Amino acid sequence: MLADLSPAAPPHTAEPGRDILHEVFGYEHFRGPQQAIISHVIGGGDALVLMPTGGGKSLCYQIPAIARQRAGHGTTVVISPLIALMHDQVGALHEAGVSAAFLNSTLTSEEATAVEKRMLRGELTLLYAAPERVTTPRFLAQLDSMQERGKLSLFAIDEVHCVSQWGHDFRPEYRALTVLHERYASVPRIALTATADAVTREDIVERLQLEQARTFVSSFDRPNIRYTIVEKKDASQQLLRFIGNEHAGDAGIVYCQSRKRVEEVAQMLCDEGMDALPYHAGLDSKVRQANQDKFLRHEGIVMVATIAFGMGIDKPDVRFVAHLDMPKNLEGYYQETGRAGRDGLAANAWMAYGLQDVVNQRRMIDESPAGEVFKQGLRGKLDALLGLAEATDCRRVRLLAYFGEASAPCGNCDNCLHPPAVWDGTDAARKLLSTIYRVQQASGISFGAGHIMDIVRGKQTEKVTQFGHERLSTFGIGAAFSEQQLRGVLRQLIAISAVSVDGQAFNTLQLTDASRAVLKGEVPVSLRESVSSPKARPAKAAKGSSAKAGAKAPLELDAQGEQRYLALKAWRAEVAREHNLPAYVIFHDATLATIAQRAPQSRDDLQGISGIGAKKLEAYGDEVLRVVAGVD
């Protein structure tokens, strides 16, 4: 999502940033701190920008790049790790009439050389490149030449959280970007990210020597996203119900932890009549790229993926993001859920999680070769995510508080809409801990969660009998608790480190120093009652059906307006195929809906419609009018 989509009269101002916003991008109003950031960077100041996904980060460096190039400062170099984003952003800039190019591994050596020559001749306003390329001796020598001629305007470092070991997507090659300040101290820098807690921000500032940069922190709130977290029972069926009941025909992303699970879920969704594709690092690169391109360029595709997918995906009409497995931390969760609803329209972030998710994440941290201090930091981040999952109060308040932002209950998350009942799990927690202790005393070995719960509930299983655990004093003392309740208690105990999981010994449970306080009743354990999901199963969708929920216009239109909207979308799809670009790069849905609503009769009528800049008016104005007239 870019700037404010509300229409207004053309601006009458000498301010270059606002003029470019209107003339090039076709928008009338900045959003949030965009105007302050853009003015600061146009003036040559350094900036660290934290702005949520869909908040318009790209404009914060694209408009300064255009303004500074027009003022004779030369080319802006954008450092990005994302090949797909480079291609689509350069395509979008071309559509807007801006000279831009990228350098990445998709180019032949001849094509790359041609781009470098254009850059050295000063023909480019923006050049996108990966950090590995920017820090090579060859590229640095080219930057030296540009600086000597006063043609190096600005460095924009996107996804800057990658520089920090505390960021959710640490990439060592970002550390080498310190060379930009050391070698080109007079060239301003703007560093941007959608997710960074206080520790990550401090690390970014230190690593990139941004101590003198002005920091701009936008609200992290995405009010159009509804957060829902459910206890995992039958995750596949829960997912089918969620998509079928709320998002039939919509574009969405489903995240899974393993490649195998990605393949299984994608096949399951296809079997249910959905247009679903897998994406993970184990796929052939051509298949992976083809799947990503289809997701970006077609409507109603569900991408089932590992976290390898998604960074830099600008698709605005993703209506849901679902997690079938819990992410590692809140930054990752926020970043991934933020890929929904970039157009500002209603979207859902849905997650199913359970005891095994907690066990797996804890085990991965404990088995990591990292130092103990670093592991402790990872545990703290995981605990914050567990706190969000187990919360009985507003999810959004919890999420924003993690990023240092105070807020009031949103009224639009699952807990606000359907406040859960809460029960005191302290007694159950003490019985579980006592059983873990007595089992280890009696047998000299540890056991997993299932066996411990069987003892507490008094289940006479073969394993219980084999080890004589029916003779323990705690056998059956928790018969009143369901297995589901005990699983919830165990999740909490692991979350507060009152129980540890030994991943090298078949995920067995062990007491910790923190167990004592719970056993003594000094630490209460409160839990949410489970809320059952709706039982209805969706009817199988007809693959390729045109009656997709995603085809509905984002504005209220009459019957004739809906016909115009559908005709405009069909025309846009043809243009996008010809240009090998996603459809939203040509025009956003909101722009087409406004055109359909107003039924313009002339180019003058198209002026002032949000998203139609001068170049697009010139390139597509007559065609748009033809399509509208063809319906009327």
Tens of pLDDT, residue by residue over 71-95, are 999 999 999 987 777 888 999 999 9
Q: How confident is the model at residue 311 (pLDDT cuts 50, 70, 90)?
A: low
Name beta bridge partners: 216: 49
* The one-letter amino acid at 555: L
Query: Virtual CA dihedral for 576, 582, 587, 589, nearest 10 degrees?
Result: 120
225-420 CATH choice from 3.10.350.10, 2.60.120.260, 3.40.50.300, 2.40.160.50: 3.40.50.300
Is 586 a residue whose pLDDT tops 80? yes
Q: How confident is the model at residue 14 (pLDDT cuts 50, 70, 90)?
A: low
Q: How confident is the model at residue 554 (pLDDT cuts 50, 70, 90)?
A: confident
CA distances (Å), 558 to each of 539, 563, 590, 624, in order? Answer: 29, 9, 16, 19
State the pLDDT at residue 543: 42
- What is the rounded distance in angstroms from the CA atom of residue 111 to the CA atom of residue 107? 6
Is 449 a residue whose pLDDT tops 70? yes
- Buried-state track 488-505, b at ≥16 Cβ within 10 A, e below 16: bbbbbbbbbebbbbebee
Structure tokens at 94: 């071309």
By the 8 A CB rule, do 430 and 452 touch? no
State the pLDDT at residue 361: 84
Same fold, 423-528 and 553-631: no
Among 9-23, 257-271, 444-458, the range scoring the smallest mean pLDDT is 9-23
423-528 CATH choice from 3.30.470.20, 1.10.10.10, 2.20.25.90, 1.10.1040.10: 1.10.10.10
- What is the rounded distance in angstroms from the CA atom of residue 60 to the CA atom of residue 77? 14
Q: For residue 252, give the 3-state DSSP assignment.
A: strand
Q: For residue 471, give the 3-state DSSP assignment.
A: helix
By DSSP bridging, strand 302-305 and strand 189-193 are unpaired
Tens of pLDDT, residue by residue over 17-55, are 999 999 999 998 898 899 999 999 999 999 999 998 778
Tens of pLDDT, residue by residue over 459-490, are 999 999 999 999 999 999 999 998 888 988 88
**Opening angle at CA 310, ends 307 and 316, nearest 5:** 150
Flag whether the pTM goes above 0.85: no
Is 9 a residue whose pLDDT tops 80? no
- Buried-state track 74-92, b at ≥16 Cβ within 10 A, e below 16: bbbbbbbbbbbbbbbbbbb
Place of tokens 């066996």: 451
SS3 helix, strand, coil % of the chain, rounded to 5?
A: 50, 15, 40
CA distances (Å), 2 to each of 53, 112, 281, 320, 621, in order? Answer: 10, 30, 30, 19, 21
By the 8 A CB rule, do 95 and 25 touch? no
- What is the rounded distance in angstroms from the CA atom of residue 134 to the CA atom of residue 199? 26
- Average pLDDT of the segment spanning 601-610: 92
Q: How confident is the model at residue 541 (pLDDT cuts 50, 70, 90)?
A: very low
- What is the rounded distance in angstroms from the CA atom of residue 31 to the CA atom of residue 49? 14
Q: Residues of the chain with pLDDT > 90: what percent?
A: 57
List the domain boundaries for the chain. 16-217, 225-420, 423-528, 553-631
Name beta bridge partners: 509: 501
- What is the rounded distance in angstroms from the CA atom of residue 550 to the CA atom of residue 566? 11
State the pLDDT at residue 49: 95
Q: How confident is the model at residue 126 (pLDDT cuts 50, 70, 90)?
A: very high
* The one-letter amino acid at 625: L
Q: How confident is the model at residue 549 (pLDDT cuts 50, 70, 90)?
A: very low
- What is the rounded distance in angstroms from the CA atom of residue 458 to the CA atom of residue 477? 7
Class of domain 16-217: alpha beta
Is 8 a residue whose pLDDT tops 50? no
CATH 2.70.50.60 fits 553-631, yes or no: no
Tens of pLDDT, residue by residue over 380-422, are 888 888 888 888 889 999 999 888 889 999 999 999 999 988 8
Is 7 a residue whose pLDDT tops 50? no
State the pLDDT at residue 535: 42
